[in-house]
Amino acid sequence: MSTEELESKIKEFIDIVEKLPDRYRETCFEVLLSEYLSSKRSQEKIEEKAEVTPLPSLGRFTIPIDVRAFLQQHSVPEENIQKLFVMAGDEIRTTYTIETTKKSKAQIQLSLLVALENALKPGGKFEFSMEAVRQRCIDHKVYDRPHFKAHFKNNKELFAGLTDEEHVGLSPDGKAELAEVILELTK
């Protein structure tokens, strides 16, 4: 509480008590000042308790240079990435929904999007593991158990190295298809 603020209140209280009969002035002034000071102290205590330590900054997500180059090569606006993922610091969460009901097409779209998600991570590449895609297909309810691997073989032109199931990369055709998927999902 500042001195100016206190002086202003005292002057206000004096103006009030001067309108009263003499015998009530002193008591009224003391009550007004006492109540004011008491309420100010209570308010200050509440404000002290209300001071909250700010959350640590999550930092701004920076799209890796390889992903930026990919986006430019395929004329995909950078803002479209933010329509598919929530990104803060080094964390990435998906927000997209697969709209196709054809399981084979949905599986391929999910594999491409998982590769993109992995490329967005620090030091990441446009690649995925079959198990991660399998789980994503289950999560999106588009898992076609008997034909899961066949869908990859039928679209082998999109992938580089289907033999290493932990590191399936995208071919140039796969990146072009990924660009189409991004544009389709972010219309």
Give the CATH number, domain containing residue 151. 1.10.10
Q: Is 55 a member of any domain?
A: no
pLDDT at 55: 44
Residues 15-41, mean pLDDT to the nearest whole number:
87
How many separate domains does the chain show?
A: 2
Range of the domain at 9: 3-50
Exposed, middle or buried: residue 52 (CB in 10 Å: 0-12, 13-18, 19+)?
A: exposed
Is pLDDT of 114 > 50?
A: yes
Spatial contact of 164 and 59, defined as CB atoms under 8 Å apart: no
pLDDT at 57: 43
Does one domain contain both 43 and 69? no
Does one domain contain both 117 and 173? yes
What confidence tier does 91 reach under pLDDT thresholds 50, 70, 90?
confident
H helical segments located in the chain: 3-17, 22-50, 65-73, 79-84, 103-120, 130-139, 148-154, 172-185
